[in-house]
């Protein structure tokens, strides 16, 4: 009988794991850019940046998120307190999927046309926690915008008679 | 009467022939549109304008060129003319290449000109204002990263962290055979209870040392073992949320300069990254612990 109980304890110990500590994880998922055509920008030349991330384990308290650009851009990075739909206006993010929005303001050139300050600008998204003992966490690395030339008009053809 | 009819018939035929001959000599070119290859070039890239047109009364030997206008500056770039023989029908021609400047202008407009190749007439406008405009697109949506937050309850998070470490090297005199380096950093107390006399240690490598001996017979060059320099110090008590600044100077004499009259010797070294260790338990740890910072190998050469 005793050996049976002992066997049972051993089997229970081996096959029934003890409840493990659920670690808290924050995972950067993706970035979506809202890039309006530069020729239709009437007001402020802002590019919308939406950061999707996921929290696992326990809730996290973010103090703010920020982006850093490479190369550094002339306009200072916008710093926004969290604006997740699940917790508007607060910095607490429950386990699950969230997003926050940023805007990135483009400078204007001498002819008042907005432009990307470099032919390629890459963004890193950083999360800062309310508890200063948590190190800053990078969520997204190298989300990049680039300048290109778009054909807007194929031209107006003419009829030419050559002698 | 019959003679008159024959005369008019011949005359009509001659007029008809003359009209047909003149028509076959004149070619009509109808401009359609301009495209670009690549279709969406980036600043600094070279683009080829491709002109699409129709030819009536071909084949015809044409010279095609373009003028590219930058509206912001008013400057015009004239493309080198290309020539070719084009049959009746729809044709395309690849014009001379154009390099988009970097930074790119906000607009470039191309006008295409045509003339008979080798002809003396002025080029005529075939297509007007085919324009490329500067725009922005998404090049990469980025790579997501996963961060596991430390378990505060388990006490694995260090109370002390090293902030803003910097390694500065100074080129020493060529004859001293010494390397100078300064390591600066702050130690911050993130909120824990830190005892007084917390120790820090900075280890720096004077590596890849090379010795030169200039003898009357020539140059003798050889390697030297790396020199590892250490500094150990302690800091006063740091209040929670506060930090202290540490500045550690290294001035290592790797090998003294020798001038024996016959031989002149000096040494150069690279300074490799410094390792900083702060021990919150008043104990120096050699390992790469959480609160250890190792500089990237700076490869800063000295004495070269």
Domain definitions of chain A by residue range: 22-146
> What's the structural domain count of chain B?
2
pLDDT of residue B80: 92
Residues B181 and B258 in one domain: yes
Between A11-15, A23-27, B105-109, B249-253, the lowest mean confidence (pLDDT) is in A11-15
For B35, the domain range is 27-133
Residues B101 and B166 in one domain: no
Q: Which residues of A touch B63 (CB under 8 A)?
A: none
- Contact call for A151 and B35, based on CB within 8 A: yes
Residues B167 and B257 in one domain: yes
Query: Is B83 domain-assigned?
Result: yes
Interface test with A, best of B51, B123, B130, B142 (most A CBs within 10 A): B142
Q: Which residue of A has its CA nearest to B108?
A: A149
Class of domain A22-146: mainly beta
Residues B180 and B88 in one domain: no
Query: Is B39 domain-assigned?
Result: yes
Looking at the partner chain, which of A25, A142, A149 has a beta carbon nearest the beta carbon of B40? A149
- Here the CATH number for the domain that contains residue B290 is 2.60.40
Report the Cα–Cα distance between both ends of chain B, in Å, rounded: 112
Asked if B25 is an interface residue toward chain A (Cβ–Cβ < 8 A), one would say yes
Query: Is B199 domain-assigned?
Result: yes
Query: Is B46 domain-assigned?
Result: yes
- Contact call for B145 and A156, based on CB within 8 A: no
What's the whole-number mean pLDDT along residues B225-232?
A: 79
Residue A7 scores a pLDDT above 80: no
Please say whether the beta carbons of B32 and B52 come within 8 A. Answer: yes
Distance from CA of A145 to the nearest CA of B (A): 5
Helix H or strand E segment including A14: helix A2-15
Asked if B17 is an interface residue toward chain A (Cβ–Cβ < 8 A), one would say no
- Contact call for A162 and B135, based on CB within 8 A: no
Q: Give the pLDDT confidence of B245-303 residue by residue, as tens digits.
A: 888 887 776 555 556 666 666 666 666 667 777 776 555 544 444 555 665 433 333 33
pLDDT of residue A80: 47
Residues B54 and B163 in one domain: no
Residue B108 scores a pLDDT above 60: yes
Model confidence band, residue B3 (pLDDT cutoffs 50, 70, 90): low
Residues B113 and B164 in one domain: no
Residue A117 scores a pLDDT above 70: yes
Q: How many Cβ atoms sit within 10 Å of the Cβ of residue B74? A: 7
Looking at the partner chain, which of A30, A37, A148 has a beta carbon nearest the beta carbon of B144? A30
Model confidence band, residue B97 (pLDDT cutoffs 50, 70, 90): very high
What's the whole-number mean pLDDT along residues B12-23?
A: 46
Query: Is B203 domain-assigned?
Result: yes
Of the residues B133, B166, B181, the one at which a domain ends: B133
Query: Is B148 domain-assigned?
Result: no
Query: Is B5 domain-assigned?
Result: no
Residues B183 and B239 in one domain: yes
Kindly state the DSSP code that residue B74 receives in the 8-state scheme.
T
Minimal CA–CA distance to B64: which of B48, B76, B75? Answer: B48
Environment class of B53 (CB within 10 Å of its CB; exposed 0-12, middle 13-18, buried 19+): buried
Minimal CA–CA distance to B102: which of A128, A4, A119? Answer: A119
Residue with tokens 């050139």: A109
Residues B129 and B179 in one domain: no
- Beta-bridged to residue B66, according to DSSP, are B112
Tokens of B289: 């612990």
3-state secondary structure of B10: helix
Residue B69 scores a pLDDT above 50: yes
Distance from CA of B177 to the nearest CA of A (A): 39
């Amino acid at each position: 009988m005793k050996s049976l109980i002992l066997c049972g304890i051993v089997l229970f110990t081996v096959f029934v794991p003890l409840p493990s500590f659920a670690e808290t994880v924050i995972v950067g998922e993706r970035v979506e850019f809202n890039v309006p055509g530069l020729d239709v920008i009437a007001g402020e030349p802002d590019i919308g940046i939406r950061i999707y991330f996921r929290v696992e384990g326990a809730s996290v308290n973010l103090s703010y998120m920020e982006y850093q650009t490479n190369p550094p851009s002339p306009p200072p990075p916008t710093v926004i307190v969290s604006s997740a739909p699940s917790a508007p206006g607060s910095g607490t993010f429950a386990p699950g999927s969230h997003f926050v929005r940023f805007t990135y303001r483009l400078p204007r050139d001498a002819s008042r046309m907005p432009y990307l300050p470099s032919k390629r600008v890459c963004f890193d998204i950083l999360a800062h926690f309310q508890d200063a003992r948590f190190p800053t966490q990078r969520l997204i690395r190298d989300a990049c915008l680039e300048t290109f030339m778009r054909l807007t008009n194929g031209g107006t053809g003419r009829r030419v008679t050559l002698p | 009467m019959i003679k008159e009819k024959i005369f008019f018939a011949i005359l009509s035929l001659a007029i008809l022939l003359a009209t047909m001959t003149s028509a076959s000599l004149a070619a009509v070119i109808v401009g359609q549109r301009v495209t670009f290859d690549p279709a969406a070039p980036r600043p600094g890239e070279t683009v080829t304008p491709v002109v699409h047109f129709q030819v009536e009364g071909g084949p015809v030997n044409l010279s095609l060129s373009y003028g590219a206008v930058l509206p912001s500056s008013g400057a015009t770039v004239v493309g080198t003319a290309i020539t070719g023989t084009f049959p009746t029908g729809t044709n395309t021609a690849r014009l001379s290449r154009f390099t988009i400047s970097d930074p790119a202008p906000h607009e470039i407009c191309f006008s295409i000109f045509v003339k008979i190749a080798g002809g003396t007439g002025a080029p005529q406008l075939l297509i007007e204002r085919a324009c490329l405009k500067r725009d922005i697109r998404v090049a990469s949506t980025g790579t997501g990263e996963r961060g596991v937050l430390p378990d505060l309850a388990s006490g694995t998070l260090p109370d002390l962290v090293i902030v803003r470490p910097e390694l500065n090297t100074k080129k020493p005199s060529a004859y001293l055979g010494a390397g100078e380096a300064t390591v600066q950093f702050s130690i911050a107390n993130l909120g824990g209870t830190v005892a007084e006399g917390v120790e820090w240690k900075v280890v720096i490598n004077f590596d890849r040392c090379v010795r030169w001996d200039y003898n009357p017979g020539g140059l003798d060059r050889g390697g030297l073992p790396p020199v590892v320099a250490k500094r150990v110090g302690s800091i006063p008590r740091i209040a929670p949320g506060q930090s202290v600044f540490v500045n550690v100077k290294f001035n290592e004499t790797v090998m003294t300069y020798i001038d024996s009259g016959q031989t002149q010797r000096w040494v150069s070294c690279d300074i490799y990254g410094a390792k900083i260790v702060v021990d919150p338990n008043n104990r120096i740890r050699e390992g790469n612990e959480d609160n250890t910072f190792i500089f990237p190998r700076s490869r800063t050469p000295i004495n070269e």
